[in-house]
Amino acid sequence: MGKPDVYESDYLENAEIFADLINGVLYQGEQVVKPQALKEQDGELRSIQSGGVKKTVRDKVRLWNGNTILAIFAVENQTKVDYHMVLRAMLAESMAYEKQWKKRKKELEQENGSVTADEFISGMRKEEKFTPVITVVVYYGREKPWDGAKTLYDLLDVEGNEEKILPFISNYRLNVFDYHEYDDFSQFHSELQSFFEFLRYSGDKEKLKEKLRENRENYGSLSAEAKALLVHLTNIKEIPNVGDNELEKGEFDMCKAFEDMKEEGRTEGKIEGKIEGKIEGKIEGRAEEIVEMGYEFGIPENEIMERLQNKLDISVEEAEKYLSMFKRRAV
């Protein structure tokens, strides 16, 4: 797991955040999964195959023990598009079911009761069932929307033969949440609403400013974990009046930080404007001198134009502008 994944996984340690993510992504905001019904699970899976031991580690796994249902939720965090994510998720879920089967097989071997031949071969009782495993992929990438496959069918080369092939293949659907697809995040009831909103509009300063103004209280109450993750996802290197350690830990006021960044940007803009103005003034003065001397010594206009371009390193259009501007004074 790379460093960005560590931040994302740490953020999902909070059971309320995890539950809100599942409810928002899978159940359109309906409060189906309760935080208190979630139990931490080991994300590591192993499978013995002919080539050795196959191992995979899922980013965050929770067992959901609802009133009438039991299920396992696995969340995979992605900052880049993984074009074989469908296969990764399929394999991880298959290994999760195999893990459950191995436990049942071991229990069956230790029983003293009667076991039918079919059950012995199967390694499980006929009536036994497995706990459902559901994978959710959360895509945090900023460069582009998710453009990878979302189903197994998307990965299969069956063009022109769909009707002959696909009916006989079990499809697999990937549960991908891509914030690029949303303009509104009201399906979330925790700080995830502001979290994904900030991520969604981080590239649009005016829109983000509007959102910060409208929901100042929500942004002001973002957890340190959320701010730390946003800093890394949006690649914020520094914030005025915020130390590196505070930035790393998310210990700053999000709204004030944004306002300070805007103010610093305005200040830098003013300074750059003054510098550019001085440079422009010097160029203009030098251009006037070249044009006046050119006409004084009877140099043809085409040669004056060449001198303007060569001496000032400017375009033909700019040279024509200066020639026209100072021609009357020189003649």
pLDDT digits (tens, 9 = 90+) for 283-327: 777 777 788 777 776 778 888 888 888 777 788 888 888 778 776
- Looking at the structure, tell me whether residues 12 and 152 fall in a common domain: yes
- Looking at the structure, tell me whether residues 163 and 280 fall in a common domain: no
Residue at a domain's end among 190, 217, 246? 190
Distance, in Å, from the CA atom of 75 to the CA atom of 164, rounded to the nearest integer, reads 35
Full DSSP string of 126-181: TT--PPPEEEEEEE--SSS---S-SBSGGG---TT-HHHHGGGS---B-EEEEGGG
- Looking at the structure, tell me whether residues 113 and 24 fall in a common domain: yes
Question: Quick check: is 229 in a domain?
Answer: no
Residue at a domain's end among 172, 190, 208? 190
Phi/psi for 69 (5° steps) reads -145, 150
- Looking at the structure, tell me whether residues 35 and 180 fall in a common domain: yes
Residue 145 CB: number of other CB atoms within 10 A?
A: 11
The residues facing 76 across adjacent strands are: 137
* CA geometry: angle 259, 138, 183, nearest 5 deg: 50
Whether pLDDT at 242 is above 90: no
β-strands 60-65, 38-41: how paired?
Answer: antiparallel
| 174: containing domain | 3-190
Of 140-149, 173-182, 228-237, 317-326, the one with minimum mean pLDDT is 317-326
pLDDT for residue 41: 86
CB 291 within 8 A of CB 327: yes
- Tally the domains of the chain: 2
Q: How far apart are the first and last CA of the chain?
A: 74
Percent of the chain whose pLDDT exceeds 70:
87
- Looking at the structure, tell me whether residues 110 and 18 fall in a common domain: yes
Question: Quick check: is 315 in a domain?
Answer: yes
Whether pLDDT at 44 is above 90: no
Question: Quick check: is 89 in a domain?
Answer: yes
Question: Quick check: is 77 in a domain?
Answer: yes
